[in-house]
Structure 1
Amino acid sequence: MTRVVSIYLPDLPTDRIRRADPSIPAEQAIAVIAKSGSRRWVSAVDGAAKKAGVHVGMHAAKAQALFRGLTMTDADPAADAAALKRITFWALTQYSPIVAVDGQDGLVMDTEGADHLQGGEEPMLVRIANQFRAKGLKTRVAIADTWGAANACARAITREVVIVPRGETVRAVEQLPLSLLRVPDKIVGDLRTLGFKTIGELANTPRAPLTLRFGPEIGRRLDHMFGRTPEPIDPIRTDEQIEVSRSFAEPIGAAETINKYVGRLVVELVDELQRRGLGVRRTDLIVEKVDGTRQAIRAGTAKPARNVAWLTKLFKDRTEKIEPGFGIEKLTLVAILAEPLDETQRSSSLIAEEVIDLTPLIDLYGNRGQRVYRVAPVASDVPERSVQRIGAASDPVDGAWVNHWKRPVRLLARAEQIDVMALMPDHPPVWIMWRGKRRKVKNADGPERIFGEWWQRNSEMAAVRDYFVIEDDAGERLWIFRSGDGVDPDTGSHRWFMHGVFG
């Protein structure tokens, strides 16, 4: 069943200004001023301006008088629209094959078949919210059965993540205001004059009088919101993206027929890629059905590729997920992400060195929703910062871990606080209590002192950790540390933590 995600960017104009000028302090209030003739009013505000009492619609002079430190910037709708378009293109490469701009302040995407690649709906939405926040964009994300319901919930509910359970659309939207129905403002005003306040009140009113007075728009939007009629999402595209398609005079539906035409589209796509000297990293198959709905399948590769047989296999392994319904009238194959790919000449020697290519295995696991990656060293003494995840097929990274002390095989995702009995400042513990189990320390080595990285954070100017390798009475070797030097409280809390386990 289709699930739709709406991503609402309530502060897009001010977020765009901050992203364009990172030197603006976070506490600096910003208001965007729109003009119409001689009239000037506030069209957008950030969080700091809202706290000061500035709101959208306020006269610019009143806003300036209310808050002297307010930064006022002229509105630039074209720049806002361009920024939203760039964000949508980025989301297309990250989350789903079907992503589109949604009004002036958001984007919408169909995540059917994509949520399992990210661990389910809730982890997917949390990841989306976190990634947008990391880019300096305030966002609210909602998922529902329909575009209309997701759009309304993202704008009406102030939580960062909203999940409307399957089949619960009516309950979720019936108390929401009419302004979220996505009908013209004039119609909303006239409906309020007639006494309507919520979407539920309007939905429970006979359709004929409304259609006679306001036309078919209200009924159409209600049918879209409640899923009575489909509302296809037309995915955003760029001129640079390579796209091939095949339309059918008679709808198709058999798996063998679908696979046959997918194979032909792959050949056409690869021919165009070869002509441009490119290889594809991410490819989307868009299936357009007779009833107006769309379904999409995404295939990714660890390296740029244009091998016809391999790309065809990646799609044929997943075409059984296509639900043709009343029939498919069009298939489209789009190279969402392509990179330069040079032809490599094979060795002509009689005895060529055998090279094992793991890329096909990486592709298979990746397209099944598994996260495949390698770890690479980072120049840092702090253990949790000394490693990074890189693509499984990435080029080798220069550098290596240089440590005089051995490191554990497994580093905990987060250091876990433990209870210990130890003589400070330099002695290892006599026993530790970790995860409810008391362990007697038989042997210990240390301390290894690691200093904080003051160039990363000012708070680490005097920070110290003292690490010990200990062996408990069961023979298990553990890596623990004390935060601080054991004497000066400015160096750390002097609490003890478990950080790793040796093999």
Structure 2
Amino acid sequence: MEAQIEQLPMHRRPTIREMGRRSEAAEMPFKRMRPDEGGGSVFLPSFAAEGAALVTIHNSGQRVVLAAVSREAAALGLALGMPLTQARAMIPGLDIHEADPAADAALLDRIGRFAARRITPLVATAGADGLWLDLTGAAHLNGGERRVCAGLLRFCAKLGIEARIAVAGNGAAADALARHGPERLTLCPEGGEQAALGPLPIAALRIDPAVVEKMRRLGLEWIGELAAVPRGPLVRRFGRDVLLKLDQALGQAAEPIDPIVPRDAPSAELRFAEPIGGAEVIARAVSDLLDQLIERLRETGLGARALLLLCDRVDRQQQRVEIGAARATRDKAHLLRLLARRIETIEPGFGIDAMRLIAARTEPLGAIAVPGDLAAPEPVPDLSQLIDLIAGRLGAQRLYRLSAIESDVPERSVCRIAPLDTTIAWPDAWPRPPRLLPRPERIDHVVAELPDAPPRRFTWRGRMYKLVRGDGPERIYGEWWKRGAERDAVRDYFHVEDESGARFWLFRRGDGIDPRTGDLSWWIQGGCG
């Protein structure tokens, strides 16, 4: 290219500005290098285009250490407890986040309550990242131990959690096999705990790390070696806690647990001496149910976000009515108004002999302060009740607000949120049209000069548009760190205006020079009006 420019007369050579614009077609600097350019170096992680190494950190005394590592980070040699400075020296592009133990504990508690309701009533936490499930008398109800465990692994995978499960005769053995065993799913045969635990490290017994280090210096590294040591000298040197942990793992000592007790949803129930069927009678029964339910919500400091009304008919059929609220509430008049609009959908048949009202979704709701000053400013109107009424008629899915999310691709940079949720505004430095299409639509018969000139004409939905103004390009690269197929993708965006004043936001796939960046097709992303 430079040689061709040198051959041109001076008055026909491109200006410095034009040559700078042409330089935009250069390859993206963060793409993986080709092997002949040094791409095979061990200092360039091979996962750069597929997924980044992720770690969380927390303070340990005066040091900042790793609290958790992803699979990619572990494959590169990072481990729990490693100093952050050492990890950064090993992987310069490390993705680092602050650990959130409270959120982790809340998620673990939610999973435990789910298991207590669906699998077995006896569930307890095992450390900060584990659960114990007592499957005694419950596994056969779900197809056996292997089927239960396989279902739990699939459930955790849907949540984005890499789980490991072991089944043994006691919780300590199952904990050791799950955390230090060779397989993601381990089923220990009855009475086989000692043989299964023998090749595992002593740290699997949940012994103090300082004691484990002392044992390692004496040549004791595996549980099988520890079990063969005489118990007397072991107690004198390391204390009784070591023997207790060993006996618990071998099933020779019991270990108490603190089970997770699932909280039942607040509810109210009415049973009738004679079946009812009239709309007015049903409305009075709903009012009585609301009185009981609101009193229970007030006692627990909760407000209802979703109510479920169950009507049991004499023919053993059940009628269901569901309502939702945009904000937690205990306002009886508002809830009764929402339920009354749905009474006409109930088919009483030969009569209803029982009704139950359940607060399927609740949130904490404290006391509401009432201003005592008569000169206080006018309160801000509460739109939640209006939103609930509209949602009851049109459906909750038809009411939403738009909020910006972090994404370079325009169609992925906007999401729908609830009407009362806080929106995130788009940065002022990157203006966007007020209207974006759900998906870009292809346009035809585009006349444009490559590589940087805006189009002069295009056809969309059977109509031709002649353009008189244009601005651009704004170059957007594909999200190569999320999708490997977008590693070379390039979009050049243009703001254009036609003869009537209508404005459009168009883009071309590809930079106009390298065919790997796109097929040079033109698309419309949005516009004004």
Band the TM-score falls in, shorter-chain normalisation? 0.5 to 0.7
Q: Distance in 2 between matches of 1:84 and 1:493?
A: 53
Please point out which of 475, 481, 486 is paired with 1:449. 475
Aligned pairs (5 A) from 1:129-140 = none
Q: Distance in 1 between matches of 2:506 and 2:419?
A: 30
Deviation of 1:23 (Å): 6.8
Aligned pairs (5 A) from 1:46-445 = 82=115, 85=118, 239-349=263-373, 350-368=375-393, 369-370=395-396, 371-394=398-421, 396-397=422-423, 399-419=424-444, 420-445=446-471
Q: Distance in 2 between matches of 1:300 and 1:502?
A: 35
Q: Distance in 2 between matches of 1:83 and 1:437?
A: 61
Q: Which amino acid aligns with 1:284?
A: L
Deviation of 1:296 (Å): 0.6
* TM-aligned CA distance change 1:132 to 1:438, over 3 Å: farther
* TM-aligned CA distance change 1:288 to 1:392, over 3 Å: same
Q: Distance in 2 between matches of 1:83 and 1:424?
A: 63
Deviation of 1:380 (Å): 2.7
Q: What RMSD, in angstroms, separates the aligned Cα atoms of the two structures?
A: 3.1
The aligned counterpart of 1:464 is: 490
Q: Which amino acid aligns with 1:293?
A: Q
Deviation of 1:404 (Å): 3.5
Flag the structure with higher strand content: 1
Q: So what's the TM-score if we normalise by structure 1?
A: 0.53
CA distances 1:231-250 after superposition (whole Å, capped 9, x unpaired): xxxxxxx7521111100011
Deviation of 1:452 (Å): 2.3
Q: Which amino acid aligns with 1:472?
A: D
Deviation of 1:321 (Å): 1.3
Give the unaligned 5+ runs of structure 2.
Answer: 1-69, 73-111, 120-140, 144-154, 161-261
Q: Which amino acid aligns with 1:303?
A: R
Q: Distance in 2 between matches of 1:438 and 1:133?
A: 49
Aligned pairs (5 A) from 1:17-56 = none
Q: Which amino acid aligns with 1:488?
A: D
Deviation of 1:381 (Å): 2.9
Q: Which amino acid aligns with 2:420?
A: A
Deviation of 1:340 (Å): 0.9
Q: Secondary structure at the match of 1:259?
A: helix
Q: Secondary structure at the match of 1:274?
A: helix
Q: Secondary structure at the match of 1:314?
A: helix
Count of equivalent residues: 286
Q: Which amino acid aligns with 2:460?
A: W
Rg larger for? 2
Same amino acid, percent of matched pairs: 44
Q: Which amino acid aligns with 1:364?
A: L
Deviation of 1:133 (Å): 11
Give the unaligned 5+ runs of structure 1.
Answer: 1-21, 25-78, 87-102, 106-130, 137-237
Q: Which amino acid aligns with 1:429?
A: P
Q: Which amino acid aligns with 1:388?
A: C
2:519 aligned with 1:493, yes or no? Answer: yes
Q: Distance in 2 between matches of 1:470 and 1:134?
A: 43
Deviation of 1:83 (Å): 9.7
Q: Secondary structure at the match of 1:429?
A: coil
Q: Distance in 2 between matches of 1:438 and 1:282?
A: 50
Q: Which amino acid aligns with 1:476?
A: A
Q: Which amino acid aligns with 1:314?
A: L
Q: Which amino acid aligns with 2:499?
A: D
Q: Secondary structure at the match of 1:467?
A: strand
Q: Secondary structure at the match of 1:326?
A: coil
Q: Distance in 1 between matches of 2:478 and 2:523?
A: 16
* TM-aligned CA distance change 1:331 to 1:309, over 3 Å: same
Q: Secondary structure at the match of 2:470?
A: strand
Q: Distance in 1 between matches of 2:282 and 2:157?
A: 40
Between 1:312-321 and 1:350-359, the stretch displaced more is 350-359
Deviation of 1:474 (Å): 3.0
Q: So what's the TM-score if we normalise by structure 2?
A: 0.50
CA distances 1:101-152 after superposition (whole Å, capped 9, x unpaired): xx959xxxxxxxxxxxxxxxxxxxxxxxxx999769xxxxxxxxxxxxxxxx
2:504 aligned with 1:478, yes or no? Answer: yes
Q: Secondary structure at the match of 1:500?
A: strand
Q: Secondary structure at the match of 2:511?
A: coil
Deviation of 1:473 (Å): 2.7
Deviation of 1:493 (Å): 2.1
Q: Distance in 2 between matches of 1:470 and 1:393?
A: 35
Deviation of 1:358 (Å): 0.8
CA distances 1:18-64 after superposition (whole Å, capped 9, x unpaired): xxxx979xxxxxxxxxxxxxxxxxxxxxxxxxxxxxxxxxxxxxxxx
Q: Distance in 1 between matches of 2:431 and 2:327?
A: 34
Q: Distance in 2 between matches of 1:295 and 1:439?
A: 56
Q: Distance in 2 between matches of 1:239 and 1:135?
A: 22
Q: Distance in 1 between matches of 2:307 and 2:331?
A: 13
